[in-house]
Each structure stands twice: as structure tokens, then as C-alpha cells.
Structure 1
């Protein structure tokens, strides 16, 4: 057992995750947690090789698991090579992971795979959180102008100027959220340094005094990381469903928040429309995805009114 993966292991683990995604239609590792593995910020890093039983080492990587901080919690992800499943590797990895990370641990199952649910039950883990992935198709010129309250306008985020104001609104809006709440200046600066950061698609709703009332932070992914099995089976063909094509860019409602003092003014709907218009008319994407807590009824209703439907669900299990 190690605390971190070596650079060579990271390459192997990434290739293993790609094989699992191609087979399952969903990535086994999240964009939110796996960067900790790449940067060596894990607390546990486990690997299993094809010839592990022989003790000779050096065989092909067949399974991997790791744990890292995710907001205020320790979270973990696990993957087994699709060609080596149903041989007890997943159970062995999970048992070793639970032994190596005592105390509170949240284990993610992306796509809510039935095998993961059965594995969790066998190890005494309970279903603790559901993260819904919703999607909709969009087209250029098809979305209306956002209906903003009087005295409110939209402008793009300005790096070097808006960090503190955004942090204040974000942390107030998501004070209840284990990952999005409690963001720091280092967090937003790290996000600004990422290659997918686009300030033009990071929209702020401000009042006449330029105070930030809400925001819609959008992203564009070059390819769909979680197309689903149906989309993978039609790779290369245009899809009319909410999944789109696996090879086309994918827009994301990355974070959308409204300051508590500005609730009840229709800003959430206006910001949603404004971000979708940007993704359709400027970024040129045709499918948009977002993640929302399954028990956040108000947000789910808002997005359903905007035409989003369920695409997938990620589940977090934890010790009972």
C-alpha cells in the first residue's frame, strides 16, 4: 500500500480508467477528485496487477483505488479492468481501501452500477448521497433573452478583480455543500489556471453598484466524459436525445449560484438562460450537462423547467 501513485502508475491508472469508460459508458473517476491523484495529494493509492497472486509483479494493471480529500470529507474511487471483473478483485480492493482509510470515508459509484451497489452492501456501506446528472440539447438562436430584474445586468468574470466578490457569494450560496462551500482564494486561482477556464463563459449578475448578486460558471469539454452506453453504441452519428454524440464537445453548467439576499427575484432562471445562450451561440455546443444534488428539489425543478432530463446518477456510499 502506498499514499500516492508513481508517475508510471498514473499513466497506467489513466489508461485503465479509459478502458472502463469505453466499456461502461461512464468514467470511473471524476474531474473533481482524480486531479488529486495526478498531483500526489492522495492519502491512499492501491493497485492490483494481473499476476498479483504469483508474487512476481510487473503484470498488467487490472485494478486501482485511491482516497483523497474532497471538500470537508475523505472520498475514494475504485476501478477494475472490464476484462477482469467477477473474479473478486473489486471486493479485495475495497476491503484493502477500507482498512487503509479508517473513519469517515465516502466511496463514489459513477453511473450507479448494480455491481457497485452489491459490493457496497457486502462491505456494510450505505447509500448516503445521490448526485444527478441532467442534460438537454440546445441550438444557436433558439433561446430567449434572459429576463433580468430591474437594475441588474450581466457581465463576464474579470480575473484579478472579481475573485473576492465571487467567493463571498459562492460560499454563502453553498454554505451547506460539502465540496462547493468553503472555497478559498487559492481554489479560484487554481481554477483560473486550468486550460478549460474561460472567463467569457463565467457570467456575473451585478447590480447598479457592480455588486455580485449571482453567477453562472460554464465550461466546455472537448469530448463527452460520460456518454452512456446508448450514445457509445451510436458513436459518430448525430443523436437527437439529451446525450448527444460521444465525439462532440459538451457544455456544462459548472456552478450556478445566487446570493441568499437576492433570492426570490428570478435570478436563477435568468442566469441559467444566459449561460445556455452563451454555450449555444458563442461556444457552439449542442448538448449541455449539469450535476445537482438529488435532494435539492428546488434546483431540480428549476432545471427541469429549463428542459433538462436525467442522464445518469452518481452515488456516494459511506460506512454505516
Structure 2
């Protein structure tokens, strides 16, 4: 059993994931976990060559399936995909069995888009539906959002690379001490984020007091196209989908992380930061649709976003093996 993909396998796995995304309208691998596969920081890496299914010709240069496991915060997590053209041949069940046999201990397996086939596969292998991550979305337009109302003595400014990392880490890790991934960030993590092509400090807004102490933040991102449009949007792909109204080929804004220091709770910073980030995405970044992820059981956060016009777009589910 391999622990990492070879460079050639990684190229094939990436192509396989894109075929699945194009067919399903949902990316099978997440931006949070798949970087571990790219860097070789995986616990297990499995592939299914073409020819593994009944009647399949071998040697086409494409993979029929792939799976990997890696650390995700304080947990072991995994993702799995089967080529859309090769589903229904038992490959998914075999690959999942191999994955479960290759990784010991607690394991969380993600199903992006809450696919019914994934739910059936999880039940057959004794996995428990243990976590729901909601994807919420709303449309935005330039000039439609009001000025954020900040508490007295609080102002907004952009994140400064080389200056704000430690202060941001302190607030982030305190705000998300309950979260399995976001709560354990390190200086290495923020340095890696700063090196990414989608990092824009101008869209990383900090709420600071008169002493420039960080009280909260709204980290936004802009994706060049929609990675998870859904099947309905894929069916309407065309020239009209890339215009100002948005669509699968239009840029997509994201409320990537929004947090408030526990000491600053109850002052309305969460709502003000939400509006400030949305104004930046609409007025500066020029996006027309904004997405965000929120834990399904985080009732307060879901209500906050619903008050700001967000509605449910999709759901990701994590199945757990104890």
C-alpha cells in the first residue's frame, strides 16, 4: 500500500477529479484536504487502474478510481472518487474496503454533495453519518450593501503580511478552539496560505481597536470559476453563464473564514464584518455570487448568515469510523 501518489499518479488523480466534477457538478476533493495529496503529506494513497471493472479494457492511461487519507486538523480524513464512466461496477466498494484496511484508527470520510451512492456505500461499511457542512450562497451587486456599523473605537483595515500573522492566529485559534480544522492553525499554515495564488490581503479584513489590537476578521477569497456549481447549473453552461449575472464560468466569492475574539462577543462585530467582506467582494472584487461553509449544528452562525440573505446551496457529509 502506497502512502503517497507518484507525480504521474497525481496528474491522473487530478484529471480524474476534474472528470467527476464536470459530471457531478461537485468537486470530489476539497481545497482543505487535497493539498496534502499534492505535497505528499498523505497517510495512504490508492488508485484503481482502468481494466479493474468487468469488461474494462486496460492501458487507457486514465484511472478508474482513487482515494487518499491525510491529517485534517486533529483528525484523519479521506476522500474517494470513481470515474463517472465506470460507476456501478463495484469499484467504489472495493476501493473503500481497501482504504479502510490501509488506515487504522478513527477515520472521517467526506462525501461532497451528499451523494446517495456514498450514503449507501457508507452504510454497507458500517460508517456513521457524523458531520454536516452546509454550503450557503447569496447573490450580491455593487452598491447594494450598507456601510457596516462598527462599535465605538473599532475600525477596519486590511491584513498586513509580515505584521499581523501572530495576532490573527491568537484570535482565530481562540474563536475556533472547538473546530477540528480551523482551531489549530500555526504560523506555517498562514505562511502557506499567503503563498497561495488566491490570497489577497486587501480582502482579508481585520477589526481592530484604538490600540490596533485585533478583535475579529473576515477573510474573503475569489475563485476564478465555480468549483461546485451543481448539476442544474452545469446543464445551463453557455455564453450567457459567464456574464455579469454569474454562472459556472464566472468568478465566485467566498466567505472563507470569519471570526471574532471571545472577549469581543456581544458587540455586533460578526454582522459588521460579514457586511464589510460582502461589500469588498461586490464593490472591489466584482463577484456576483458569494458562497460560504458553516457547520450544520452551528445554529447561531447559520442564523447570522440567513439574516444576511444566504440560502442553502449544497451539503457535504463526513462519515466516521470509530
Which residue, 135, 138, 143 being the options, matches 1:136? 138
Paired residues of 2:50 and 2:57 also in contact (CA < 8 A): no
How far apart, CA to CA, are the structure 2 residues paired with 1:84 and 1:48?
11
1:95: which partner in 2? 97
2:256: which partner in 1? 254
Seen in structure 2, the aligned counterparts of structure 1 residues 57 and 230 have a Cα distance that, compared at 3 Å, is: closer
Paired residues of 1:237 and 1:245 also in contact (CA < 8 A): no
Instruction: Give the Å deviation of 1:163.
Output: 0.5
CA deviation profile, 1:285-308 (whole Å, cap 9, x unmatched): 000000000000000000000000
Secondary structure of 2:114's aligned partner: coil
1:20: which partner in 2? 20
How far apart, CA to CA, are the structure 1 residues paired with 2:91 and 2:34?
21
How far apart, CA to CA, are the structure 2 residues paired with 1:268 and 1:176?
18
2:125: which partner in 1? 123
Secondary structure of 1:181's aligned partner: helix
How far apart, CA to CA, are the structure 2 residues paired with 1:305 and 1:159?
32
Instruction: Give the Å deviation of 1:244.
Output: 4.3
1:298: which partner in 2? 300
How far apart, CA to CA, are the structure 2 residues paired with 1:99 and 1:78?
14
Secondary structure of 1:311's aligned partner: strand
Instruction: Give the Å deviation of 1:52.
Output: 3.4
Paired residues of 1:231 and 1:244 also in contact (CA < 8 A): no
Instruction: Give the Å deviation of 1:211.
Output: 0.4
Seen in structure 2, the aligned counterparts of structure 1 residues 238 and 175 have a Cα distance that, compared at 3 Å, is: farther
Which residue, 208, 212, 215 being the options, matches 1:213? 215
Secondary structure of 1:36's aligned partner: helix
Seen in structure 2, the aligned counterparts of structure 1 residues 58 and 237 have a Cα distance that, compared at 3 Å, is: closer
Which residue, 272, 282, 307 being the options, matches 2:274? 272
1:147: which partner in 2? 149
2:9: which partner in 1? 9
How far apart, CA to CA, are the structure 2 residues paired with 1:143 and 1:280?
9
1:198: which partner in 2? 200
1:83: which partner in 2? 85
Instruction: Give the Å deviation of 1:236.
Output: 2.6
TM-score, normalized by length of structure 1? 0.96
RMSD over aligned Cα, in angstroms? 1.6
1:70: which partner in 2? 72
Instruction: Give the Å deviation of 1:237.
Output: 5.6
Instruction: Give the Å deviation of 1:274.
Output: 0.1
Paired residues of 2:64 and 2:82 also in contact (CA < 8 A): yes
| Large movers: runs of 4+ above 4 Å | 53-57
Secondary structure of 1:316's aligned partner: strand
1:39: which partner in 2? 39
How far apart, CA to CA, are the structure 2 residues paired with 1:29 and 1:45?
13
Seen in structure 2, the aligned counterparts of structure 1 residues 86 and 223 have a Cα distance that, compared at 3 Å, is: same
Instruction: Give the Å deviation of 1:58.
Output: 3.8
Secondary structure of 2:184's aligned partner: coil
Secondary structure of 1:52's aligned partner: coil
How far apart, CA to CA, are the structure 1 residues paired with 2:188 and 2:240?
40
TM-score, normalized by length of structure 2? 0.96
What is the number of residues matched between the two proteins?
Answer: 317
How far apart, CA to CA, are the structure 1 residues paired with 2:321 and 2:167?
37
Seen in structure 2, the aligned counterparts of structure 1 residues 275 and 53 have a Cα distance that, compared at 3 Å, is: closer
Instruction: Give the Å deviation of 1:57.
Output: 6.5
How far apart, CA to CA, are the structure 2 residues paired with 1:317 and 1:236?
36
Instruction: Give the Å deviation of 1:182.
Output: 1.2
Instruction: Give the Å deviation of 1:319.
Output: 1.3
